[in-house]
Amino acid sequence: MTAAYLHTEPILVAVDSIVFGVDGNKLRVLLFRREMEPASGEWSLIGSFVKKNESLDEAGKRILYSLTGLEDIYMEQLYCFGNTKRDPGDRVVSIAYWSLIDITNNDLELEYDNHQSKWFAVDDLPELVLDHGQMIEKAMERLRRKTRFEPIAFELLPKEFTMKQLMNVYEAIYGEELDDRNFRRKITQKNLVQRLAKKDWSTSKKGSYLYVLNKDFHKTLNSDFLY
Protein backbone atom coordinates (compact mmCIF):
# COMPACT_ATOMS: atom_id res chain seq x y z
CA MET A 1 0.00 0.00 0.00
CA THR A 2 1.35 3.41 -0.94
CA ALA A 3 1.90 6.01 1.79
CA ALA A 4 -0.88 8.29 0.53
CA TYR A 5 -3.45 5.54 0.99
CA LEU A 6 -2.54 5.03 4.63
CA HIS A 7 -4.22 8.30 5.61
CA THR A 8 -7.59 7.59 3.97
CA GLU A 9 -10.63 6.11 5.70
CA PRO A 10 -11.53 2.63 4.43
CA ILE A 11 -14.99 2.14 2.93
CA LEU A 12 -16.70 -1.21 2.45
CA VAL A 13 -18.01 -2.00 -1.04
CA ALA A 14 -20.91 -4.40 -1.52
CA VAL A 15 -22.90 -5.80 -4.42
CA ASP A 16 -26.65 -6.33 -4.04
CA SER A 17 -28.58 -8.39 -6.57
CA ILE A 18 -32.15 -7.77 -7.70
CA VAL A 19 -33.32 -11.06 -9.26
CA PHE A 20 -36.53 -10.87 -11.30
CA GLY A 21 -38.69 -13.74 -12.49
CA VAL A 22 -42.20 -14.14 -13.86
CA ASP A 23 -44.81 -16.51 -12.49
CA GLY A 24 -47.96 -16.55 -14.64
CA ASN A 25 -48.48 -12.86 -15.32
CA LYS A 26 -46.86 -11.63 -12.11
CA LEU A 27 -43.43 -10.04 -11.97
CA ARG A 28 -41.62 -11.30 -8.89
CA VAL A 29 -38.39 -10.52 -7.10
CA LEU A 30 -36.37 -12.94 -5.00
CA LEU A 31 -35.88 -11.93 -1.35
CA PHE A 32 -34.03 -13.48 1.57
CA ARG A 33 -34.21 -13.43 5.35
CA ARG A 34 -31.18 -11.44 6.44
CA GLU A 35 -28.89 -13.42 8.75
CA MET A 36 -26.62 -10.64 9.92
CA GLU A 37 -26.94 -7.39 11.81
CA PRO A 38 -28.22 -4.80 11.32
CA ALA A 39 -31.84 -5.92 10.78
CA SER A 40 -31.21 -9.64 11.15
CA GLY A 41 -34.32 -11.64 10.30
CA GLU A 42 -35.78 -8.96 8.01
CA TRP A 43 -36.40 -9.40 4.27
CA SER A 44 -33.51 -8.33 2.08
CA LEU A 45 -31.98 -8.58 -1.36
CA ILE A 46 -29.13 -11.03 -1.61
CA GLY A 47 -25.70 -9.45 -1.55
CA SER A 48 -22.09 -9.76 -0.59
CA PHE A 49 -19.06 -7.63 0.10
CA VAL A 50 -16.70 -7.39 -2.84
CA LYS A 51 -13.56 -9.42 -2.36
CA LYS A 52 -10.16 -7.76 -2.64
CA ASN A 53 -9.17 -9.56 -5.82
CA GLU A 54 -12.46 -9.48 -7.78
CA SER A 55 -14.15 -6.88 -9.93
CA LEU A 56 -17.71 -5.67 -9.37
CA ASP A 57 -19.02 -7.79 -12.25
CA GLU A 58 -17.18 -10.82 -10.91
CA ALA A 59 -18.80 -10.28 -7.51
CA GLY A 60 -22.23 -10.03 -9.13
CA LYS A 61 -21.66 -13.23 -11.12
CA ARG A 62 -20.37 -15.01 -8.03
CA ILE A 63 -23.54 -14.16 -6.12
CA LEU A 64 -25.77 -15.37 -8.95
CA TYR A 65 -23.83 -18.60 -9.42
CA SER A 66 -23.85 -19.31 -5.67
CA LEU A 67 -27.59 -18.68 -5.69
CA THR A 68 -28.68 -20.56 -8.83
CA GLY A 69 -25.83 -22.82 -9.91
CA LEU A 70 -26.19 -21.23 -13.37
CA GLU A 71 -23.60 -19.14 -15.20
CA ASP A 72 -25.38 -17.84 -18.30
CA ILE A 73 -27.77 -15.38 -16.62
CA TYR A 74 -28.72 -11.93 -17.85
CA MET A 75 -27.12 -9.41 -15.47
CA GLU A 76 -26.66 -5.66 -15.69
CA GLN A 77 -25.21 -3.05 -13.37
CA LEU A 78 -27.93 -0.71 -12.14
CA TYR A 79 -26.76 2.08 -9.84
CA CYS A 80 -24.38 3.02 -7.05
CA PHE A 81 -26.05 3.61 -3.68
CA GLY A 82 -23.73 5.64 -1.48
CA ASN A 83 -25.73 7.60 1.06
CA THR A 84 -23.50 7.96 4.10
CA LYS A 85 -26.29 6.78 6.40
CA ARG A 86 -27.69 3.97 4.24
CA ASP A 87 -26.22 1.22 6.42
CA PRO A 88 -26.08 1.73 10.22
CA GLY A 89 -23.56 -1.10 10.49
CA ASP A 90 -20.71 0.75 8.80
CA ARG A 91 -19.85 3.02 5.88
CA VAL A 92 -20.92 0.81 2.97
CA VAL A 93 -21.27 1.71 -0.69
CA SER A 94 -23.47 -0.74 -2.59
CA ILE A 95 -23.43 -1.37 -6.32
CA ALA A 96 -26.78 -2.82 -7.35
CA TYR A 97 -27.13 -5.31 -10.18
CA TRP A 98 -30.35 -6.65 -11.66
CA SER A 99 -30.85 -9.94 -13.42
CA LEU A 100 -33.56 -11.95 -15.17
CA ILE A 101 -34.11 -15.68 -14.79
CA ASP A 102 -36.65 -18.25 -15.91
CA ILE A 103 -38.45 -19.44 -12.78
CA THR A 104 -39.64 -22.58 -14.63
CA ASN A 105 -36.07 -23.76 -15.32
CA ASN A 106 -35.90 -27.30 -13.93
CA ASP A 107 -32.16 -26.92 -13.31
CA LEU A 108 -32.76 -23.93 -11.05
CA GLU A 109 -32.04 -24.66 -7.39
CA LEU A 110 -32.15 -21.49 -5.34
CA GLU A 111 -29.93 -21.68 -2.30
CA TYR A 112 -27.53 -19.16 -0.80
CA ASP A 113 -25.68 -20.11 2.37
CA ASN A 114 -28.90 -21.68 3.76
CA HIS A 115 -30.76 -18.36 3.68
CA GLN A 116 -34.54 -18.57 3.71
CA SER A 117 -35.72 -17.32 0.32
CA LYS A 118 -39.09 -16.46 -1.24
CA TRP A 119 -40.43 -14.97 -4.46
CA PHE A 120 -42.56 -11.87 -3.85
CA ALA A 121 -44.80 -10.09 -6.34
CA VAL A 122 -43.34 -6.63 -6.98
CA ASP A 123 -46.70 -5.04 -6.14
CA ASP A 124 -46.88 -6.83 -2.78
CA LEU A 125 -43.45 -6.52 -1.20
CA PRO A 126 -42.77 -6.81 2.53
CA GLU A 127 -40.86 -4.14 4.43
CA LEU A 128 -37.25 -4.31 3.31
CA VAL A 129 -33.97 -3.47 5.03
CA LEU A 130 -31.84 -0.44 4.31
CA ASP A 131 -32.49 1.06 0.85
CA HIS A 132 -33.33 -2.22 -0.88
CA GLY A 133 -36.82 -1.01 -1.72
CA GLN A 134 -35.30 1.89 -3.67
CA MET A 135 -33.04 -0.56 -5.49
CA ILE A 136 -36.02 -2.62 -6.62
CA GLU A 137 -37.89 0.48 -7.78
CA LYS A 138 -34.93 1.63 -9.88
CA ALA A 139 -34.48 -1.85 -11.31
CA MET A 140 -38.16 -2.03 -12.31
CA GLU A 141 -37.88 1.34 -14.06
CA ARG A 142 -34.82 0.15 -15.97
CA LEU A 143 -36.46 -3.17 -16.87
CA ARG A 144 -39.62 -1.50 -18.21
CA ARG A 145 -37.62 1.04 -20.20
CA LYS A 146 -35.26 -1.48 -21.78
CA THR A 147 -38.01 -4.00 -22.54
CA ARG A 148 -39.65 -1.48 -24.86
CA PHE A 149 -36.60 -1.43 -27.15
CA GLU A 150 -34.70 -4.66 -26.51
CA PRO A 151 -35.91 -8.29 -26.44
CA ILE A 152 -34.60 -8.92 -22.91
CA ALA A 153 -38.04 -10.18 -21.78
CA PHE A 154 -37.16 -13.49 -23.43
CA GLU A 155 -34.63 -14.06 -20.62
CA LEU A 156 -37.65 -14.68 -18.36
CA LEU A 157 -38.95 -17.50 -20.57
CA PRO A 158 -37.92 -21.06 -21.34
CA LYS A 159 -36.21 -21.55 -24.70
CA GLU A 160 -39.50 -22.72 -26.23
CA PHE A 161 -42.66 -20.87 -25.27
CA THR A 162 -46.21 -20.17 -26.36
CA MET A 163 -47.38 -16.77 -27.53
CA LYS A 164 -49.57 -16.61 -24.42
CA GLN A 165 -46.55 -17.14 -22.17
CA LEU A 166 -44.72 -14.35 -23.99
CA MET A 167 -47.64 -11.97 -23.59
CA ASN A 168 -47.89 -12.90 -19.89
CA VAL A 169 -44.28 -11.83 -19.43
CA TYR A 170 -44.87 -8.42 -20.99
CA GLU A 171 -48.06 -7.98 -18.95
CA ALA A 172 -46.10 -8.88 -15.79
CA ILE A 173 -43.37 -6.35 -16.57
CA TYR A 174 -45.75 -3.48 -17.32
CA GLY A 175 -48.39 -4.41 -14.76
CA GLU A 176 -51.25 -4.09 -17.22
CA GLU A 177 -53.32 -6.19 -19.62
CA LEU A 178 -52.39 -6.15 -23.31
CA ASP A 179 -54.70 -6.70 -26.25
CA ASP A 180 -54.06 -10.26 -27.43
CA ARG A 181 -54.59 -9.68 -31.15
CA ASN A 182 -52.59 -6.45 -31.24
CA PHE A 183 -49.72 -8.00 -29.29
CA ARG A 184 -49.48 -10.99 -31.63
CA ARG A 185 -49.55 -8.71 -34.67
CA LYS A 186 -46.72 -6.51 -33.41
CA ILE A 187 -44.56 -9.44 -32.36
CA THR A 188 -45.04 -11.02 -35.79
CA GLN A 189 -44.39 -7.78 -37.68
CA LYS A 190 -41.10 -7.25 -35.85
CA ASN A 191 -39.99 -10.78 -36.76
CA LEU A 192 -39.10 -11.35 -33.12
CA VAL A 193 -40.05 -15.02 -32.96
CA GLN A 194 -40.01 -18.13 -35.09
CA ARG A 195 -42.90 -20.59 -34.89
CA LEU A 196 -42.04 -24.25 -34.44
CA ALA A 197 -43.92 -27.21 -35.89
CA LYS A 198 -44.73 -28.61 -32.45
CA LYS A 199 -47.34 -27.58 -29.91
CA ASP A 200 -47.85 -27.34 -26.17
CA TRP A 201 -50.84 -29.54 -25.31
CA SER A 202 -51.00 -28.73 -21.60
CA THR A 203 -53.40 -25.79 -21.83
CA SER A 204 -56.02 -26.82 -24.40
CA LYS A 205 -57.22 -29.71 -26.57
CA LYS A 206 -56.25 -27.78 -29.71
CA GLY A 207 -52.80 -27.08 -28.36
CA SER A 208 -50.72 -23.92 -28.71
CA TYR A 209 -47.83 -23.54 -31.11
CA LEU A 210 -44.41 -23.17 -29.55
CA TYR A 211 -42.05 -20.38 -30.53
CA VAL A 212 -38.38 -19.52 -30.12
CA LEU A 213 -36.59 -16.19 -30.31
CA ASN A 214 -35.53 -15.51 -33.88
CA LYS A 215 -31.73 -15.76 -33.80
CA ASP A 216 -31.45 -13.57 -36.91
CA PHE A 217 -33.35 -10.76 -35.23
CA HIS A 218 -31.29 -7.65 -34.51
CA LYS A 219 -30.84 -7.22 -30.76
CA THR A 220 -32.07 -3.63 -30.64
CA LEU A 221 -35.52 -2.58 -31.80
CA ASN A 222 -35.78 0.51 -33.95
CA SER A 223 -38.85 1.77 -32.11
CA ASP A 224 -41.09 1.15 -29.12
CA PHE A 225 -42.96 -1.83 -30.51
CA LEU A 226 -45.60 -2.36 -27.82
CA TYR A 227 -47.23 1.05 -27.86
The pLDDT score that the predictor gives to residue 99 is: 96
Please write the tens of the pLDDT for every residue from 28-49. Answer: 999 998 877 778 789 999 999 9
CA distance 218 to 55: 30
Please state, in angstroms and rounded to a whole number, the distance separating the CA atoms of residues 5 and 47: 27
Q: What is the pLDDT of residue 112?
A: 52
Query: Could you report the per-residue pLDDT of 178-204, keeping only the tens digit for each?
Result: 999 999 998 888 888 999 999 888 877
Q: How many CB atoms lie within 10 A of CB 186?
A: 15
What are 99-115's pLDDT values in tens digits? 999 988 755 666 655 56
Q: Which helix (H) or strand (E) holds 134?
A: helix 132-147
Distance of alpha carbon 81 from alpha carbon 35, whole angstroms: 21
Domain made up of 152-213: CATH architecture: Orthogonal Bundle (1.10)
> Do residues 77 and 97 make contact, with C-beta atoms less than 8 angstroms apart?
yes
The domain made up of 3-147 has a fold known as: Nucleoside Triphosphate Pyrophosphohydrolase (3.90.79)
Name the nearest CA neighbour of 82 among 11, 7, 9: 11
Percentage of the chain exceeding pLDDT 70: 90
Could you state, in order of their start, the residue ranges of all structural domains in the chain?
3-147, 152-213
The 3 state secondary structure assigned to 146-193 is HHCCCCHHHHHCCCCEEHHHHHHHHHHHHCCCCCHHHHHHHHHHCCCE
Separation of CA 28 from chain center = 9
Neighbours of 109 (CB within 10 A): 10
Return the C-alpha torsion angle 80, 84, 88, 94, nearest 10: 10
N residues, the chain: 227
Q: How far apart are the first and last CA of the chain?
A: 55
- The helix/strand/coil state of 13 is strand
Tell me: the pLDDT tens digits for 71-87? 889 999 999 999 999 99
Using CA atoms, how far apart are residues 11 and 200, in angstroms rounded to an integer? Answer: 53
pLDDT for residue 2 is more than 80: no
Q: Which residues contact 49 (CB under 8 A, 6 or more apart)?
A: 12, 13, 14
Cis-peptide into 151, omega within 30 deg: no
